Chain A
Amino acid sequence: MVHPPVADIPPGSLPSGSLPQVDVPSGVPNGLPGAAPPPPVAPHRGSVIGSAVTDAIVSGLLTGLLLLPLVGFRATESGSGPLGLTYRFGLVAVFAAIVAVLRLVLNLTVWRRGRKVKTGTEPSAFAALVQKAAPALRPAFFSFAIAYPFLAILLSGGLSPSRYWVDLGIYVLTYVMLGWGLNIVVGLAGLLDLGYVAFYAVGAYTFALLSTSVPLNEFFAGHLGEGFWTAWSFWLCLPVSGILAAFWGVILGFPVLRLRGDYLAIVTLAFGEIIRLVLINWVSLTNGGAGISSIPPISFFGVPFNSSDDGFAARYGLDFDSMHRIIFLYFVILGLAVLTALVTIRLRQMPVGRAWEALREDEIACRSLGINTTLTKLTAFATGAMFGGFAGAFFAVRVRFVSPESFTFMESAVILAIVVLGGMGSQMGVAGAAILLIGGMEMLRNLSFLKADFLFGPDFDPSLYRMLIFGFAMVAVMVWRPRGLVSSRLPTVFLKERKAVSASLVKEGHG
């Protein structure tokens, strides 16, 4: 029997990736040492690069071939004449190059053979960093949030130019608050809610309807003076919005008590749509798709933000500026968000919060420990919905116009994405994800430097690509941090040390 000289080739020098791997030299009789699996070999550096390059070229060529008919030819209309044909081989080449380069990078990093996979019980480096920074992170985050509008004014040079930045801050903080509210339902109690926007809508419409109600206005005008309702409506309606939203949370909670996971998600999704459709079709109450406008603006606890003598500016000796109202709105939403966070932190240390977390882990075990799961679920729905309602009322007073179009499923999806990306149950994670998603998406509008002549030219509209980049970013985060940015959970009580263990080591509860 002639042995083929396979064994002489150093293992690993064979191009991998594109070729099937030959492990055992064929022709070696059974029973001899050669039949045993080859000992593990350290990957040969040169060959790794070689095979990666080969692989990149092959996949680039394949992409080019595939895309040639799909992208390379384009039928164009030229006026009334016959269809013309244009060739876009350059574009095909660009796509092929992108695939080749990406594959090369992946082959040299993530997919590299012999790459040491990290193992261990410690939380990942990122989680450890967050853990270490956690005590400082909260105050830092909070101080930055307080200083933010002033920083914006300083850096943009004046009140009026800072409007965009303060508005952006309000926008982001609204989602931080919504994320924290939904975090109670999804992150703590483990009830997948795809219809959270319904409570946002309930809060917004409650405030919009009450504040524009003529009978209420007349009632208060008769008793407490003209203009009382306009000035105070937000502060009086805010708790009402929260309570009504919580009430609707309980209404949603009852039929879905026995549902879990996917089924719960479908029903809550339907609930969100029902609320939106009711808002559209109940024209006599909600004015249908036209929405409710002329909602009174927010007041500084009864003092209106206007240029009159009783206005905020006159009363506190300032020059009138419409930015005062915007900055005040910023601090209102900051206060509401902080309230959400503090209530959640407090509740987590109380029996009801612990019961939520236990419910997320294992419902049957909860029941066998004497926990009333019905009550626990309903309180989770109600608490989460209440904060959604607060945020809704705030939304209505900020925009001063509500219509069903603001409360589509997309909103629910974005809020849920914030919670999932941030890491379920983690407050800092959720806040970070809201800043990243909402702020980042807004920032993508500002990529005007891409319009430079040497890049894409003035016809290029970067804002069209922001959803694409957003999608890529989501996929990337989910690949590298499948349980969200902050996946470790801190116990609420501890005996010796507060030890956080990465969630990836422990399976999810399937109660």
Chain B
Amino acid sequence: MSTQTLAPGAVAASPAPKGAPLLSVSGVTAYYGKIIALKGVDIEVNEGEIVTLIGANGAGKSTLMMTICGSPQARDGRIVFAGRDITGLPTHEIMRLNIAQSPEGRRIFPRMSVYENLQMGAAITGNTHFAQDLERMFEMFPRLRERIDQRGGTLSGGEQQMLSIARALMSRPRLLLLDEPSLGLAPLVVKQIFDAIKLLNETEGLTVFLVEQNAYHALKLAHRGYVMVNGRVTMSGTGAELLARPEVRAAYLEGGR
């Protein structure tokens, strides 16, 4: 496992000691009522990496992402972001620590315009570099510029996903959490979205934690990957390693490409 050391992005360097992961999840369990969803998960995401988490439906991928965001809160274990323990923090405070999330199912604001949606993304940072960020998003997703005064709900699925990612990026995060960005999108659109993620990572050094069902594309894109089965991480390795593993191929790739 190689720790990527890419140039730091627009955000200042972390106060965390060098070499420590940006996000580390250790021994986290989470419950929905009495039902256990995560049975002690350990995951690390280093600065500048794209890390993906793949697994079948109901494996607990989205739950892990939501647990990182503080809803549901982890019952045991620790979640540390940039040297700070965020395990017990409420969601909105976690999100103010330079973590941004594009939630599952995109969840844009349907009756608000694209512009207003992006403005909501900058709710934390305010207007300090709003115009600049807006321009950056337009360069990355030119479609959004065309649609700027349309309502979010009238966009196509792919455009909504772009908007969701752009909205998350408006707060200039150090860590971007993406929950199934390929959900319900055509292969061509999925490729566009994944290209954009890759570009963000390469040019700005954005750290990305990606939860995906689309194992092939996700592992191709990611530096490292984790495989989750039934609330546990069963395999980890670089994207290429996992792609080559026969178990991974059998469970998530064969016929499902």
Contact of B103 among A355, A368, A495 (CB under 8 A): A368
Q: Does B162 contact A (CB under 8 A)?
A: no
| Cβ–Cβ contact B95 & A370, under 8 A | yes
- Which residue of chain B has the shortest Cβ distance to A359 in the bound complex? B109
Interface residues of A in 483-511 (CB under 8 A from B): 489, 491-499, 501, 503, 505-509, 511
Q: Does A13 contact B (CB under 8 A)?
A: no
What is the minimal beta-carbon distance from B9 to any residue of chain A, in angstroms?
A: 19
| Cβ–Cβ contact B151 & A505, under 8 A | yes
Whole-angstrom CA separation of A369 from B166 in the bound complex: 12
| Cβ–Cβ contact B151 & A370, under 8 A | no
Which of chain B's residues have a CB closer than 8 A to the CB of A260? none
What is the minimal beta-carbon distance from A134 to any residue of chain B, in angstroms?
A: 16
- Which residue of chain B has the shortest Cβ distance to A370 in the bound complex? B95
| Cβ–Cβ contact A364 & B112, under 8 A | no
What is the minimal beta-carbon distance from B210 to any residue of chain A, in angstroms?
A: 16
| Cβ–Cβ contact A511 & B107, under 8 A | yes
Contact of B110 among A371, A493, A506 (CB under 8 A): A506
Q: Does A365 contact B (CB under 8 A)?
A: yes
Which of chain A's residues have a CB closer than 8 A to the CB of B153? 505-507
- Which residue of chain A has the shortest Cβ distance to B106 in the bound complex? A365
Whole-angstrom CA separation of A104 from B189 in the bound complex: 51
Which of chain A's residues have a CB closer than 8 A to the CB of B108? 362, 365
Interface size on B, residues (CB 8 A): 36
| Cβ–Cβ contact A370 & B124, under 8 A | yes
Q: Does B150 contact A (CB under 8 A)?
A: yes
What is the minimal beta-carbon distance from A347 to any residue of chain B, in angstroms?
A: 15
Whole-angstrom CA separation of A496 from B119 in the bound complex: 15
A368/B149 contact (C-beta < 8 A), A358-B120, A361-B109, A493-B115 known: no
Q: Does A131 contact B (CB under 8 A)?
A: no
A121/B154 contact (C-beta < 8 A), A358-B109, A365-B108 known: yes
| Cβ–Cβ contact A354 & B171, under 8 A | no
Whole-angstrom CA separation of A371 from B126 in the bound complex: 12
Q: Does A373 contact B (CB under 8 A)?
A: yes
Whole-angstrom CA separation of A373 from B95 in the bound complex: 13
| Cβ–Cβ contact A489 & B123, under 8 A | no
| Bitwise interface map of B from 155 to 184 toward A, beta carbon under 8 Å scored 1, else 0 | 000000000000110010000000000000
| Cβ–Cβ contact B154 & A368, under 8 A | no
| Cβ–Cβ contact A370 & B92, under 8 A | yes
Contact of B115 among A355, A358, A495, A501 (CB under 8 A): A495
Which of chain B's residues have a CB closer than 8 A to the CB of A357? 109, 111-112, 116
| Bitwise interface map of B from 86 to 103 toward A, beta carbon under 8 Å scored 1, else 0 | 000011110110001101
Which of chain B's residues have a CB closer than 8 A to the CB of A351? 123, 126
| Cβ–Cβ contact A362 & B149, under 8 A | no
Q: Does B121 contact A (CB under 8 A)?
A: yes
Q: Does B43 contact A (CB under 8 A)?
A: no
A493/B111 contact (C-beta < 8 A), A364-B103, A367-B95, A499-B150 known: no
- Which residue of chain A has the shortest Cβ distance to B101 in the bound complex? A368
| Cβ–Cβ contact B171 & A370, under 8 A | yes
A494/B124 contact (C-beta < 8 A), A369-B167, A505-B153 known: no
Q: Does B148 contact A (CB under 8 A)?
A: yes
Which of chain B's residues have a CB closer than 8 A to the CB of A489? 111
Whole-angstrom CA separation of A292 from B237 in the bound complex: 77
| Cβ–Cβ contact A367 & B92, under 8 A | yes
A367/B109 contact (C-beta < 8 A), A493-B119, A494-B149 known: no
Whole-angstrom CA separation of A366 from B168 in the bound complex: 11
Q: Does A307 contact B (CB under 8 A)?
A: no
A354/B119 contact (C-beta < 8 A), A365-B108, A496-B148 known: yes
| Cβ–Cβ contact A369 & B115, under 8 A | no
Contact of A365 among B103, B111, B171 (CB under 8 A): B103
A354/B116 contact (C-beta < 8 A), A367-B91, A505-B153, A511-B107 known: yes
| Cβ–Cβ contact A368 & B69, under 8 A | yes
Contact of A491 among B90, B112, B168 (CB under 8 A): B112
A358/B112 contact (C-beta < 8 A), A373-B92, A499-B150 known: yes
Whole-angstrom CA separation of A491 from B101 in the bound complex: 24
| Cβ–Cβ contact A368 & B116, under 8 A | no
Whole-angstrom CA separation of A495 from B151 in the bound complex: 13
A506/B111 contact (C-beta < 8 A), A370-B95, A493-B116 known: yes
Q: Does B113 contact A (CB under 8 A)?
A: yes
Q: Does A372 contact B (CB under 8 A)?
A: yes
Q: Does B71 contact A (CB under 8 A)?
A: yes
Which of chain B's residues have a CB closer than 8 A to the CB of A505? 151, 153-154
| Cβ–Cβ contact A501 & B96, under 8 A | no
| Cβ–Cβ contact A501 & B154, under 8 A | yes
A364/B107 contact (C-beta < 8 A), A357-B112, A495-B115 known: yes
Which of chain B's residues have a CB closer than 8 A to the CB of A371? 92, 120, 123
What is the minimal beta-carbon distance from A11 to any residue of chain B, in angstroms?
A: 38
| Cβ–Cβ contact B148 & A492, under 8 A | no
A367/B71 contact (C-beta < 8 A), A358-B109, A361-B109, A372-B92 known: yes
| Cβ–Cβ contact A491 & B115, under 8 A | yes
- Which residue of chain B has the shortest Cβ distance to A491 in the bound complex? B113
Q: Quick one: which of A365, A369, A499 has the most chain B CB within 10 A? A: A369
| Cβ–Cβ contact A506 & B148, under 8 A | no
Contact of A355 among B123, B152, B154, B168 (CB under 8 A): B123
Which of chain B's residues have a CB closer than 8 A to the CB of A498? 149
| Cβ–Cβ contact B107 & A362, under 8 A | yes
What is the minimal beta-carbon distance from A338 to any residue of chain B, in angstroms?
A: 26
Interface residues of A in 453-511 (CB under 8 A from B): 489, 491-499, 501, 503, 505-509, 511
| Cβ–Cβ contact A499 & B154, under 8 A | no
Which of chain B's residues have a CB closer than 8 A to the CB of A492? 116
Which of chain A's residues have a CB closer than 8 A to the CB of B95? 367-370
Whole-angstrom CA separation of A112 from B213 in the bound complex: 49
| Bitwise interface map of B from 128 to 159 toward A, beta carbon under 8 Å scored 1, else 0 | 00000000000000000000111111100000
Q: Quick one: which of A370, A493, A498, A505 has the most chain B CB within 10 A? A: A370
Question: Beyond the given A121-B154, A503-B111, A505-B153, could you list 19 further A-B residue pairs with CB under 8 A, ordered by the A residue number?
Answer: A357-B109, A358-B109, A361-B109, A365-B103, A367-B91, A368-B107, A369-B120, A369-B123, A369-B168, A369-B171, A370-B93, A370-B96, A371-B92, A491-B116, A492-B116, A497-B149, A501-B154, A506-B152, A506-B154
Q: Can you list 28 A-B pairs with a CB-CB distance of less than 8 A?
A: A121-B154, A351-B123, A354-B119, A354-B120, A358-B112, A362-B108, A362-B109, A362-B110, A364-B103, A365-B108, A367-B91, A367-B95, A368-B100, A368-B107, A369-B95, A369-B167, A369-B171, A370-B96, A370-B123, A370-B171, A371-B123, A372-B90, A491-B115, A492-B116, A498-B149, A499-B149, A506-B110, A509-B109
